[in-house]
Structure 1
Amino acid sequence: MKPIKSILLTSIIISQLGCSSSKQTGTSKNISSYSNKKIEVYTTAENSNLKLSLSNNLILNESSTDSPTVFIEIDKAKTFQTFLGIGGAITDASAEVFAKLPAKKQQEFLTAYYDKNKGIGYSLARTNIHSCDFSSESYTYISEGDKDLKTFNIDHDRKFRIPLLKKAIQNAGGKLTLFVSPWSPPAFMKSNNDILHGGVLLPEFAQSWANYYARFIKEYEKEGIPIWGLTIQNEPMATQRWESCIYTPEAERDFLKNFLGPTLEKEGLSSKNVIIWDHNRGDMLEKRAQLVFSDPDVSKYAWGIGFHWYETWNGGTPKFESVGWVHENFPNKNLIFTEGCIEKFDSNKYQFWGNAERYGINMINDFNNGTVGWTDWNILLDQNGGPNHVGNFCFAPIHADTNSGELIYTPMYYYIGHFSKFIRPDAKRIKETVSNDKLLSTSFKNTDGKIATIVMNQSEKNVIYTITFDSQKHTISIPAHAMQTLVY
């Protein structure tokens, strides 16, 4: 399938102007006037030109003969977690690709992600502490062996990553909730004397490594880039061919308790939010939470726990129940999705709808199990799914063809946008009841009083459903393989 290149955000802009079309729906005989409605419907659907498009023509009038098969009831009086934000990682790879784009395309890209009116309004971001696999090379901020950090500098990041971070913050309205993650300590601090291939942090360098986090945060904030929080270690149970480091549950607990937590306090950084785990859902998510959050001496340093979606690598199913277990057992701690992407890049699958549906399934279920924030992996990659210095090429919601300078928008971008554009920071998730599993759904109430209900149809057929709220009832058609956001 040919990629859709250089899609201007016309559908989103049209949405803001209140325009809609009935041509693709096949329900024109049931179209009702929107003039007396108090609900807006935005739709993205496979095999159509609906891309976050205002589509109130999918609201059926009272004379419709189509009977709903799903019923969604909203109870806005019952609230749950407070929403932190949705966004993606600004890696070296993303920044290097961005720098190769023409100025006009750079601004289109920034608007597409960070403008909440013309784009999808990202409000959350992650970035790496020195190199990760999505860097063109391995590097650190110090000379090898410098345990006192006398040579520490972030000059490497000033070329590509820091300029992109600053532009992202500017285009997000001046505020972007940013957390940072290390993939590995420098080689000399590790048991295998290698920044790659796992290994563990040597005890004699634990304080030096804790100081490294604090120094990084302070140097970035000197650049005018506020750091909201940090994870202790990306994927601490995975020995990878790229930057990686192993922490047992006890090792992570003790590093936070005895070194990182006290160091952040000493350096005046106690307001930074520390996230433990930063690896997959499943039993280990529960065990890490239990170990840290049940110990008041270490729990006081931990804002919450982060997780990825790669537990399905061996053919298993997503472990959403583990997220729910942590939320139920530690309601005063926070859950945040810190990374997910479509692995194994294939340029023939830019427009593969199943990739977008994977995002929809995960986001809805994570939010319904208590997650407060959701972070995609790279915001931008090139036409090869990189750069990546070990060949671990992946998908991003937007790719750039660095030969032509064109942007390629995938369906993932639009599916994420159904959440990030309409659920804003500090929103509260509210109770909803869905009559059966033909549709997936989640609902949030924003601080301005508006509610956003996200509805997803994975089936091969249109589904007619009814949503009830505030003594109102609306019957709506959602196309096959589609996502909708209802705003009311």
Structure 2
Amino acid sequence: MLFLVLLITFGVNAQKVTWKYTTEKEPWKKGTDLSFKKSSEKADIAIYPDKKLQKMDGFGACFNELGWEVLQAVDQKTRNTIITDLFSAEGVNFSLCRIPLGSNDYSFNYYSYNDVPEDFEMKNFSIDRDRYILIPYIKSAMAIKPNLQIWASPWSPPLWMKVNNHYAMGSYNGDKTMNEGQAIRNNATAFKMENRYLQAYALYFSKFVEAYEKEGIDISSVMVQNEPIYQPHWQSCTWRPDDLAYFIGKFLGPQFQKSATKADLWLGTVNSGDPNYTRTILNDKEASKYIKGLGVQWDAKNAIATINKEFPNMPIMQTESECGNGDRNWKSAEYTWSLINTYLTNGANSYMYWNMVLDPSGASTWGWKQNAMITIDKETKKVSYNPEYYLMKHLSHYVLPGAYRLETSGGKDHLAFVNPNGEIVLMVMNKDEETKLVTLAVNDKQVSLQLKGKSMNTFTF
């Protein structure tokens, strides 16, 4: 018994803390190993290992056509290195990623899987285009991460299912495909709410899941509509919440049940900051029978705390990290960190970045310059790993699916988790220019952490 007590005491005092840090000039560096010591003094950050919060499902990003295009600018070896750096256990270790169901603003152009008007039986449904672009992109990642989970959502239904007969809601100067009279400037439902269109669209979803399964890609979940209260000049479709609930409860859910579609149905990707939008659908008796989770992004960050409180058993995914304006700098990473912190501290189980790889302009098909984790210059072939690459790596590399977030105290710029194997992970962001000394307490143990100015830090023990 005495030997056992001595062994436990030694373990408590000598437990090693490993440290990885990133600054703008020193990315992904190993810090000095540290050790806990017994102490009863008040610490700056305290972790409570016995107080588990939400279970983590993983981290990821989105496969888009323009990302695969820019990857073709480099040789196979470089391309493999980039994919490995995103998906391997030694890299970012992404485990859960998004794909568009049809075209989006980072596709080459407008398309759907059935552009034949009024083909209600989906006789002309086809994913042929994806076989040349998105599917090779996904399979390159699955070669590294075979158990990678894939989920999907449409930006727009086929144009013939929309009231304005166009993929977009708004128009812009360079778009000659839309007449001004086709633009929709409010959040009224833009889908044709006739039964034949609703049933055809439900069939469209189930055929998509089945077609991808035949390609060796299992779709884990489908979200019904990207940003249903937004009217941009790219692929989009607004839905009133009661109409979306009607579609899910009367058509989409029953179709998935009838066809034994394996993918789960999630409500998302909701972008409304008003909890009433989400609440209306989740409280609908018919729709709620089929909804297995909730996807939220952008303004929905203002509603997540309320929704998580009212629906505590509903899994929540942050589905698209805010994209910035092509700056790709340290300030962008700090802002994304603030978003991650907001979503995870309010109950999100997973977090999705947006574009993994783009050219230096970051421009969408419609001209919006946005951030990416990695940029490739098509002319010089230079590959740049941007600060947000390291931000995502500081979390996703360490925090594994099945981990739990842990309760902590002592400020906002940190997050703590416990992995399935019992390992504790702490991420701390120092936004100050100066080095900061922080004391960390776990039960009756403490360790001093010296954080470099403007740094991301991950500690494991």
State the TM bucket, normalised to the shorter chain: 0.7 to 0.9
> Over residues 389-431 of structure 1, what are the superposed CA-to-partner deviations in whole Å (9 max), with x where a residue is unaligned?
2222311111111122221110010011111001000111111
Map 1:23-422 to 2 at 5 A.
Answer: 36-46=14-24, 48-49=25-26, 51-56=27-32, 59=34, 71-117=44-90, 119-145=91-117, 146-172=119-145, 174-197=146-169, 200-204=190-194, 205-269=197-261, 271-280=262-271, 282-283=273-274, 286-309=275-298, 311=299, 320=301, 322-345=303-326, 349-350=327-328, 352-386=329-363, 388-422=364-398
State the shift of 1:307 in Å. 1.4
CA distance in 2 between counterparts of 1:321 and 1:339 reads 15
- Aligned residue type for 1:216: F
Q: Is the 8 A contact 1:126 1:178 kept in 2?
A: yes
Q: Is the 8 A contact 1:70 1:464 kept in 2?
A: no
> Over residues 82-112 of structure 1, what are the superposed CA-to-partner deviations in whole Å (9 max), with x where a residue is unaligned?
1111010001111222233210111111111
Decide whether aligned partners of structure 1 residues 69 and 381 sit closer, same or farther in structure 2, where only a CA change above 3 A counts. farther
Match for residue 5 of structure 2?
none
State the shift of 1:324 in Å. 1.7
Structure 2's unaligned 5+ residue stretches are 1-12, 171-183, 185-189
- Aligned residue type for 1:409: Y
- Aligned residue type for 1:203: M
- Aligned residue type for 2:83: L
> Over residues 139-177 of structure 1, what are the superposed CA-to-partner deviations in whole Å (9 max), with x where a residue is unaligned?
1222421222111111111112101101111212x1111
List, as ranges, runs of 4+ consecutive aligned residues in structure 1 with deviation greater than 3 Å: 59-62
State the shift of 1:275 in Å. 2.1
Specify the SS of the correspondent of 1:430: strand
Indicate whether 1:455 and 2:446 are aligned: no
Normalised TM-score (structure 1): 0.83
State the shift of 1:215 in Å. 0.6
Specify the SS of the correspondent of 1:424: coil
Decide whether aligned partners of structure 1 residues 321 and 233 sit closer, same or farther in structure 2, where only a CA change above 3 A counts. closer
State the shift of 1:38 in Å. 1.8
State the shift of 1:289 in Å. 2.9
Decide whether aligned partners of structure 1 residues 281 and 354 sit closer, same or farther in structure 2, where only a CA change above 3 A counts. farther
Q: Is the 8 A contact 2:22 2:390 kept in 1?
A: yes
- Aligned residue type for 1:303: K
Q: Is the 8 A contact 1:69 1:465 kept in 2?
A: no
State the shift of 1:463 in Å. 1.4
State the shift of 1:382 in Å. 1.3
Specify the SS of the correspondent of 1:203: coil
Match for residue 429 of structure 1?
405
- Aligned residue type for 1:135: S
Q: Is the 8 A contact 1:134 1:389 kept in 2?
A: yes
Amino-acid identity (%): 28
Specify the SS of the correspondent of 1:77: strand
Decide whether aligned partners of structure 1 residues 69 and 135 sit closer, same or farther in structure 2, where only a CA change above 3 A counts. farther
Q: Is the 8 A contact 1:359 1:416 kept in 2?
A: no
State which of 415, 432, 440 in structure 2 corresponds to 1:442. 415
Q: Is the 8 A contact 2:60 2:95 kept in 1?
A: yes
> Over residues 189-233 of structure 1, what are the superposed CA-to-partner deviations in whole Å (9 max), with x where a residue is unaligned?
110011112661112311111111111111011100110101110
Structure 1's unaligned 5+ residue stretches are 1-34, 63-67, 312-318
State the shift of 1:343 in Å. 2.9
State the shift of 1:323 in Å. 1.5
Specify the SS of the correspondent of 2:250: helix
State the shift of 1:470 in Å. 4.1
CA RMSD of aligned residues (A): 2.0
> Over residues 20-64 of structure 1, what are the superposed CA-to-partner deviations in whole Å (9 max), with x where a residue is unaligned?
xxxxxxxxxxxxxxx944211111123x31x2222026x5998xx
Specify the SS of the correspondent of 2:83: helix
Q: Is the 8 A contact 2:55 2:349 kept in 1?
A: yes
- Aligned residue type for 1:206: L
> Over residues 212-258 of structure 1, what are the superposed CA-to-partner deviations in whole Å (9 max), with x where a residue is unaligned?
11111110111001101011101111111111101011111111111
Moved more, 140-149 or 71-80: 140-149
Specify the SS of the correspondent of 1:244: coil
State the shift of 1:321 in Å. 5.4
Specify the SS of the correspondent of 1:95: helix
CA distance in 1 between counterparts of 2:101 and 2:302 reads 31
- Aligned residue type for 1:159: Y
Match for residue 20 of structure 1?
none
Moved more, 472-481 or 97-106: 97-106
- Aligned residue type for 2:248: L
CA distance in 1 between counterparts of 2:372 and 2:258 reads 38
State the shift of 1:342 in Å. 2.9
State the shift of 1:71 in Å. 1.2
CA distance in 1 between counterparts of 2:424 and 2:389 reads 22
CA distance in 2 between counterparts of 1:136 and 1:295 reads 37
